Amino acid sequence: MSFFRKESTVRRILSLNPVLLLESPFFVVFLLISASPFLFSEPVSGYEAEFIEDLEPIEYSHQPLSSYSTILKKVIPNVVGIYVGSPIHPRHNDNLSLLEDDNIRSGIGSGLIIDKNGYIVTNSHVLLKDDGNPSEQITVELHNKESFPAEFIAMDKATDLAVIKIDKKFETSAVLGDSKNLEIGDIVFAIGNPHSIGLTVTMGIVSAKGRTNLGILGYGGYENFIQTDAAINFGNSGGPLVDAEGRTVGINTAIYSKNGGNIGLGFSTPVHLVKSVAYDLITYGMKVRGYIGVLPENITDTIRKSFNIPSDLKGAFIRKVPENLPSHKAGIKVGDIITKINNQPIESAEQLRLVISQMEPGTMVTALILRLNRFITLDLTVSTLGEQPIQLRKKSLPHVFIAKLNDKYRKTFKIPKNLEGILVVKKKENASPTNVLQKGMLILEINDRPIKHLKSVSQMLKRGNNQLYIWFQGNLQFIRIFVD
């Protein structure tokens, strides 16, 4: 067992709310779509999320257990019920229809305590109001029926994950396992607050792994679901999927159903993705994703015949490579097939997108590529999706936007090639005149520590006076800033 501290930078099982139905010939998918990628609040600056992990594989035994009560007694105290103060009305879509229930006056879901300082992960859709914003009235009920008002921290539309916080410290938090170790047939438990009747445990197995392209999270979503037949119902949104050793391996997110009830087709977001998103939401207030700038697609029979691709080869076919983005700069071409990233096999376009999205911007990766029936390797640097600067919280660097230094910024601000750091690229219009941070300042060190990652800035700052070593307009100097 270990503590998880991420050093790098950087659906839905519905609650008792009106829900959307995504129709298919045989099933309907119950889901909600959040209205914006990120919503921010102001959590305590400088706090670094800390999770408890146990990443060892399951110890399989041929001796079946007569009861799992001892294991589950340790898990249940970390599961909570979540209640929001107003009904949710999701946005409409031509392919979706609304299931109304006039008797439902509040959202009901579940959550998991993942940090002993009161941080709880759940699904975004559990918290949303009809305007697409999180409810101002969020109540958390613990397993012992003790209730607390909750503060919204942040959410991530692309994974339907959100973090809230209550003003209570716990002796421990949920133990997070390694969803990558799961095997089809492993026993799992779904725990949550179905239909608001109270915390409930159901049992099943892992039915499948790596479910993508289900359309559950909508356009731009990152799907990589664990499928289970453990009974999951309305109100289980945000509750954990737990293995036979009591370790969380997923967050219950979606079901397929003909009528809204459980038919044994449930989907959970794997915990390795949950950890990455929740850590960033707690520590930085947002999720920043890696990006290499390609338009990939799966290898169809037509593509395989047209490009004479071996029948057993799997990968992501590159349909488009926009200019001046990382892939173009590295030499990737239309028609290339990416088969590995850093020795990790890539079997589809969805997997390529997911793998890159979880990488830290600025990371150098090696791609194994099939080009004209010949394998080559190319090194490329992961960028930030959208190339957008990050706005730090007010309690971090005040009133500025920062970005990782790149060739464009280096040329614009005439920064020497031997200097590396984080660049102030914009100053907010309402910034105080006394704010010493200026556009074009390159921050090299914070409190005598070199800056290695864009998102490590928040960790390196402390409350009160901070010393920055900066380059500005040809001069190296120390400046001081005050962090409230």
- Helix/strand/coil (H/E/C) assignment for every residue in the chain: CEEECCCCCCCCCCCCCCEEEEECCCCEEEECCCCCCEEECCCCCCCCCCEEECCCCCCCCCCCCCCCHHHHHHHHHHEEEEEECCCCCCCCCCCEEEECCCCCCCEEEEEEEEECCCEEEEEHHHHECCCCCECCCEEEECCCCCEEEEEEEEEEHHHCEEEEEECCCCCCCCEECCHHHCCCCCEEEEEECHHHCCCEEEEEEEEEEEECCCCCCCCCCCCCEEEECCCCCCCCCCCEEEECCCCEEEEEEEEEECCCCCCCCEEEEEHHHHHHHHHHHHHCCCCCCEECCCEEEECCHHHHHHCCCCCCCCCEEEEECCCCCHHHHHCCCCCCEEEEECCEECCCHHHHHHHHHCCCCCCEEEEEEEECCEEEEEEEECEEHHHCCEECCCCCCCCEEEEECCHHHHHHCCCCCCCCCEEEEEECCCCCCCCCCCCCCEEEEECCEECCCHHHHHHHCCCEEEEEEEEECCEEEEEEEEEC
Instruction: Sketch the domain layout of the chain as residue ranges.
Output: 2-283, 290-385, 389-483
What pLDDT is stored for residue 168 in this prediction? Answer: 93
Full-model pTM: 0.66
Q: CATH number of the domain at 389-483, out of 2.30.42.60, 3.40.50.300, 3.90.79.10, 3.10.20.30?
A: 2.30.42.60
pLDDT value of residue 36: 32
**Annotated catalytic residue 160:** yes
Q: How far apart are CA 242 and CA 78, in angstroms?
A: 12
Taking only Cα atoms into account, the Rg of the chain, rounded to an integer number of angstroms, comes to 23
> Residue holding tokens 């080559």?
376
Same fold, 290-385 and 389-483: yes
The CATH code that applies to domain 2-283 is: 2.40.10.120
Active site residue: 110, 124, 237, 383, which one? Answer: 237
| pLDDT at residue 239 in the model | 93
Are the CB atoms for 266 and 230 separated by under 8 Å?
Answer: yes
Kindly list the averaged pLDDT for each block of 10 residues, start to end, along the chain of length 484.
39 37 34 32 52 73 73 92 64 32 58 94 87 85 92 88 93 88 91 85 91 75 88 87 92 79 84 89 79 90 90 93 89 95 91 86 87 92 62 56 80 90 77 72 89 74 83 88 76
Give 435's contacts (C-beta < 8 A, 6+ positions apart): 398, 399, 400, 427, 481
Tokens of 170: 């716990």
Q: Is 125 a catalytic residue?
A: yes
Catalytic status, residue 15: no
Of 115, 156, 160, 280, the active-site residue reads 160
Query: What pLDDT does residue 64 have?
Result: 65
pLDDT score for 18:
32
Instruction: Tell me the CATH number for domain 290-385.
Output: 2.30.42.10
Question: What is the dihedral sign for C-alpha 238, 243, 244, 246?
Answer: negative
